[in-house]
Amino acid sequence: MKTNNTKKALIASLLSLVLCVSMLVGSTFAWFTDTATTAVNTIQAGNLKIDIVNEAGVSLKGSDMSFVNKDGSADILWEPGATFRTPGFKVKNIGNLALKYKMLLNGVTGDNELLKVIKFSVVDENGAVVNLDSYEAVLKKDETSGVLYIEGHMAEDAGNTYQGLKLNGLGITVYATQYADESDSNGSDYDKDATYPIVAVATVTVDESGKTTEKSELTSTDSSTKVTVPAGAKVDDTKLVLTIHEAADPENFTVKATDVSQTLEVKMVGLAEDNTELIRVVMNVGKSLNGFALYHNGTAMTKKDTVADLTADQDYYYDSAKGEVTMLTSHFSPFTYTYAKGDWNDQLTDDADFETPVDTEKKVVTIASASELALFAKQITDKGKNYSGYTVNIVADIDLSAGLWKPINGWGKMDHIVINGNGHTIKNMIVRDCINPNSGGYGAGFIGQTSGSITIENLTFDSANVAFPHAEWYNGYVGNVGGVVMGYTYGTTLFENVSVVNSTIQGYGKIGCLLGMGADPGVKVTFRDCVSKNNTIHAVYNMGGLAGNIQRGNGVDNTTVENCTVENIVVEYDANEKYADLVNVKVTYSTNDVTEDSTVEKIVSGKYWICQGYYWGGYADYYVSYGDSAYDAPAEGHSMKLANGEYDVNK
């Protein structure tokens, strides 16, 4: 079964017919149709709908047909060497979306004796057999296929043992999905990834009370799904049609940022709504899915340790080695499964069939995909490759949602590097890692740490979600020195035309939307034409719309902020901590951050964290300026000093 992190409720349509073949009497079959459409508010959505019509174009829905002889008579006798066809039929697109469709014959396998001597096929108007394994046709709006027939041929050597036998459950299913033909605002390929529904059909025998008389097995066309309907299941029809296709998650269903979700719309037409018998479903969803969980219509199902433990409605078991989930259910509706995203690094093997394009002569790296970006990061962090002096050109928008991002450890390997986004966006980056995992963790972000000079320019980070390992254990308040773009910098750093928007970053302290900490005393950090907007900071102290904190050197702050925008930053302080709002408080700082021999007074306002008898910088629009632990600045009218000579730098 195909799984896909991209949410698309793909439209599907299905029809099927059933036949009963008797040795003595020609019998009939009826057409069945089912459709699915999508609508949004009052906008009329396109619909995908198919019908089966006769040669004159009249719908066969609800009517009966039969195998006939060459004179059109249904009063036929099956005998050795006989060949009979149905009347001609066509597949018609009666919706307003282009579609592609396939067909399959069901009921042509099994242990019925007649299947040993009667071969069934679909033939075209020229009598040529249609290869259903490879057959796929396209119908645009109002188009109709050529004439088709279902043909049965009885082997010439069929003996008398087959007299009087009957074959039930023979049928054909036509199933369709969208075809990339219509155009939206961006082109005609918005639906190019539309997939066919998974289909399984079975005919059941039913008693007078509407219950099945024996167990029935349904296997999907791609063998990814097997369903066992027990004897005693309540049904509305003698034919059960199972369809499965990808769908949107149920409304109000919440998925963790670190998880993947996939919803499957599962229907069984013919099963009564008030059925109470447990139906066993085995679906292939993929191997080695860590943290697998299954939900039925948004409600968690009950996980069991083995298949043998499945006894009650809504029980399930996931076999990681086989990639199969087995569940018990009495009814069908959307099923959603979730699992943990893997690391981008884990998706890249040493013998990957691609490599990040590198021009070693010109010292240029060109990155056009998420995989190339992840490989570039892995080469630095895990392989120790040195890209000092290189220019990294990002030449396309990049979506990192398919995996968890491991922060780049650029220490000694990215000196005088330029990362140029060329106006592109890195979106949906999720970080749950850091450079140093000790004591809660240090150094989280796109880049965990660097030494030496670095320039990042013309790049946007959108919808990033950055936190330290085990953040969920501490409600997010764990880990120090984190930024969406960079955790630590120890060298001259230029952020030019860099934006962080719609993003969230969590940690304990020294947490900023672009930079966590300028960690070298007197480090030169420049923010030029940068934007931090619509972001959330979830931390305890030293937080900033641009940077968490930047360290002064001998009293000198070498940070420059030029033409930057910081707007709509939500700060989530730890409710278990204590804070003080300082308003126009006169604070005495040391000019060299170490002694009181030479001092300077500043008027300070802001929210400060109270810890160990000191005030620590809370949130600043730009960053918290950090002095030296040797000097704590006294605040007029307060018994507590400002730790490390800190003060907020605001707009």
Mean pLDDT of 525-532: 98
User: Is the pLDDT reported for residue 189 higher than 70?
Assistant: no
pLDDT of residue 29: 35
User: Is the pLDDT reported for residue 1 higher than 60?
Assistant: no
Q: How confident is the model at residue 420 (pLDDT cuts 50, 70, 90)?
A: very high
Please indicate whether residue 132 or residue 606 has the higher confidence score (pLDDT).
Answer: 606
Q: How far is CA 639 from the centre of its chain?
A: 53
Please name the residue ranges forming H helices in 306-463.
Answer: 370-381
pLDDT of residue 111: 59
Q: How confident is the model at residue 334 (pLDDT cuts 50, 70, 90)?
A: very high
pLDDT of residue 103: 79
Mean pLDDT of 2-19: 44
- Kindly report the number of other CB atoms within 10 A of residue 306's CB atom: 9
Cβ(216)–Cβ(222) below 8 Å: no
Mean pLDDT of 496-510: 98
The partner residues of 533 in beta bridges, in order of sequence, read 501, 567
Please indicate whether residue 17 or residue 606 has the higher confidence score (pLDDT).
Answer: 606
pLDDT of residue 85: 85
pLDDT of residue 310: 98
Amino acid at 168: N
Rounded Cα distance between 535 and 562, Å, is: 20
> Residues of the chain with pLDDT > 90: what percent?
60
User: Is the pLDDT reported for residue 548 higher than 90?
Assistant: yes
Mean pLDDT of 288-313: 97
Please return the burial class of 34, using the count of CB atoms within 10 Å of its CB with bins 0-12, 13-18 and 19+. middle
* pLDDT tens per residue, range 85-132: 888 888 888 888 888 888 777 666 555 677 788 888 889 999 999 988
User: Is the pLDDT reported for residue 3 higher than 50?
Assistant: no
Provide the token pair at 454: 């670095």
Please indicate whether residue 33 or residue 139 has the higher confidence score (pLDDT).
Answer: 139
Please name the residue ranges forming H helices in 547-599.
Answer: none
Mean pLDDT of 622-649: 95
Q: Which of 258, 252, 310, 305 is nearest to 279 (CA)?
A: 310
Please indicate whether residue 351 or residue 35 has the higher confidence score (pLDDT).
Answer: 351
Residues 6 or more apart whose Cβ sits within 8 Å of residue 509: 480, 481, 539, 540, 541, 542, 548, 616
Provide the token pair at 173: 């299913």
Q: Which of 218, 176, 226, 214 is nearest to 201 (CA)?
A: 218
Secondary structure E strands in 189-343: 198-203, 216-219, 225-229, 239-247, 259-269, 279-284, 293-296, 299-300, 302-303, 315-319, 324-329, 335-340
Amino acid at 545: G
CA angle 427, 429, 433 (to 5 degrees): 170
Please return the burial class of 608, using the count of CB atoms within 10 Å of its CB with bins 0-12, 13-18 and 19+. buried
Cβ(198)–Cβ(245) below 8 Å: yes
Secondary structure E strands in 86-129: 89-93, 99-106, 118-124
pLDDT of residue 219: 87
Of the candidate ranges 87-91, 443-447, 613-617, the one whose mean pLDDT is the lowest: 87-91
User: Is the pLDDT reported for residue 501 higher than 80?
Assistant: yes
pLDDT of residue 99: 84
Rounded Cα distance between 590 and 598, Å, is: 6
User: Is the pLDDT reported for residue 520 higher than 80?
Assistant: yes
Domains identified in the chain and CATH numbers:
50-178 (2.60.40), 198-340 (2.60.220), 344-649 (no CATH)
User: Is the pLDDT reported for residue 8 higher than 60?
Assistant: no
Q: How confident is the model at residue 65 (pLDDT cuts 50, 70, 90)?
A: low
User: Is the pLDDT reported for residue 466 higher than 80?
Assistant: yes
Please indicate whether residue 138 or residue 5 has the higher confidence score (pLDDT).
Answer: 138
Provide the token pair at 537: 């900071």
What is the pTM for the complete model shown?
A: 0.73
* pLDDT tens per residue, range 249-299: 998 899 998 999 999 999 898 999 999 999 999 999 999 999 999 999 999
Please name the residue ranges forming H helices in 38-175.
Answer: none
Mean pLDDT of 605-627: 96
pLDDT of residue 119: 86
pLDDT of residue 556: 94
Mean pLDDT of 626-638: 94
pLDDT of residue 110: 57
Of the candidate ranges 157-166, 185-194, 611-620, the one whose mean pLDDT is the lowest: 185-194
pLDDT of residue 295: 98
Cβ(225)–Cβ(284) below 8 Å: yes
Give how far Cα 407 sits from Cα of 432, 460, 467, 577, 643, Å.
Answer: 9, 17, 11, 29, 29
pLDDT of residue 528: 98
Rounded Cα distance between 108 and 123, Å, is: 16
DSSP state of 17: E
pLDDT of residue 11: 42
Of the candidate ranges 139-148, 187-196, 224-233, 348-357, the one whose mean pLDDT is the lowest: 187-196
Rounded Cα distance between 48 and 52, Å, is: 14
Provide the token pair at 495: 């952020």
Chain-wide mean pLDDT for the chain? 86
> SS3 for 380?
helix
What secondary structure does DSSP assign to 10-69, as a single string?
--EEEEEEEEEEESSS--EEEEEEEEEE--BTTB---EE-EEEEETTS-B-BT-EEE-B-
* pLDDT tens per residue, range 552-603: 999 999 999 999 999 999 999 999 999 999 999 999 999 999 987 799 999 9
